[in-house]
Amino acid sequence: MRYFVTGCAGFVGSTLADRLLGDGHEVVGFDNFSTGRDAFIAGALQHPKFTLHRADLLDAPAVRAATAGCDAIFHLAANADVRFGADHPLRDFEQNVGVTMNVLEAARLNGIAAVAFASTGSIYGEATVIPTPEDAPLPVQTSLYGASKIAAEGFIEAYAEAFGLRAFIFRFVSLLGERYTHGHVLDFCRQLREHPHELHVLGNGEQRKSYLYVGDCIDAMLLVMQRCTERVCIYNLGSDGYCQVNDSVAWICERLGVQPRVTHGGGDRGWIGDNPFIFLETAKIRALGWTPTLTIRAAVERTVDFIVKEQL
């Protein structure tokens, strides 16, 4: 198989590219290196079955040219900056929806059979049902990021219906693991490197979130693409549990061997649109036989080790 991977130099994209190459597939990678890193694809670039396009997905003709001859697309590239969405109101629209339209048009025009999409549990807004299943009641969007992802999902589904391609939509919780470059574990590690005796936590620290190890996420995506036979396959990907931000703080501090004084910003959420409780129902993916190999705590610890090792 020849896979097109957007965001191939990012956290998830580079990990997936390595995995697909290891499984014997060809990978055509596409990244604008806005957050992607050369170091993450250094290995892939040595591989004869890897091709890199250093270009922007906003450039529709470039996307169309690069996808020619591919069998399936993993569309992972996105503006994943949930927290600062409101500072740049059009960014999520342009980079997450506009770009998805370019990917879909490329798939349609090149007759690509399947599009897999990295969506998010954020599309459930402040869910009324927790753990939140794939067919939860229609949510009210609370972040521009979530809005952009549910918008992209809808267009992918409509393309599947209108043009006969197959759609695989994966709603992730936050991912952890090697090559993590963005999120609370990094924020806390950086604070503690600078001031080992102080840590400031947004909100009251009681926000409850679920996390998943990136390797487990990739296992789940590949399994669904093997097993699900529907035209549109929608799966939550998450752990069978959640932790409080304060739990995560304790694990990080223990791993780093520090005992800081922890201060809290207050309130039940970290920022506008922050969701104080994210926990996805994962019965659907588990029914395919998948189960995460790492607990949330183990995933946090691996992430800390990576951050320390790479001096991020």
Measure CA of the first residue to CA of the last residue in the chain; give whole Å. 34
Buried b (16+ CB within 10 A) or exposed e, 228-265: beeebbbbbbbbbebbebebbbebbbebbeeebeeebe
Q: In degrees to the nearest 10, what's the CA dihedral of 85, 295, 284, 205?
A: -40
Per-residue x/- mask for its own copies, residues 118 to 157, rule CB under 8 A?
Answer: -------x--x-----xxxxxxxxxxx-xxx-xx-xxx-x
Q: Work out how close the CB of 231 gets to its own copies at its nearest, in angstroms, rounded to a whole number.
A: 9
Please select the residue that binds its own copies; options are 54, 58, 113, 163, rule is CB under 8 A. 163
Rounded CA-CA distance 89/93 in Å is 8
Between 43 and 133, name the residue whose CB sits nearer to its own copies.
133
By CB under 8 A, which span of 38-46, 87-95, 205-213, 278-286 interacts with its own copies? Answer: 87-95
Between 89 and 289, name the residue whose CB sits nearer to its own copies.
89
Q: Work out how close the CB of 125 gets to its own copies at its nearest, in angstroms, rounded to a whole number.
A: 8
**Residue 210: closest CA among 86, 294, 290, 140:** 294
How many angstroms separate the Cα of 255 from the Cα of each of 105, 192, 297, 307? 46, 12, 11, 11
Please select the residue that binds its own copies; options are 24, 46, 90, 311, rule is CB under 8 A. 90
Please select the residue that binds its own copies; options are 161, 198, 254, 268, rule is CB under 8 A. 161
265-304: contacts with its own copies (CB under 8 A): 272-273
Q: Work out how close the CB of 138 gets to its own copies at its nearest, in angstroms, rounded to a whole number.
A: 6
Rounded CA-CA distance 99/93 in Å is 9
Told to check if 173 binds its own copies by CB under 8 A, we report no
Rounded CA-CA distance 240/142 in Å is 24
- Report the interface residues with its own copies, using CB under 8 A: 85-86, 89-90, 93, 97, 101, 104-105, 108, 125, 128, 134-144, 146-148, 150-151, 153-155, 157-159, 161-163, 232, 234, 272-273
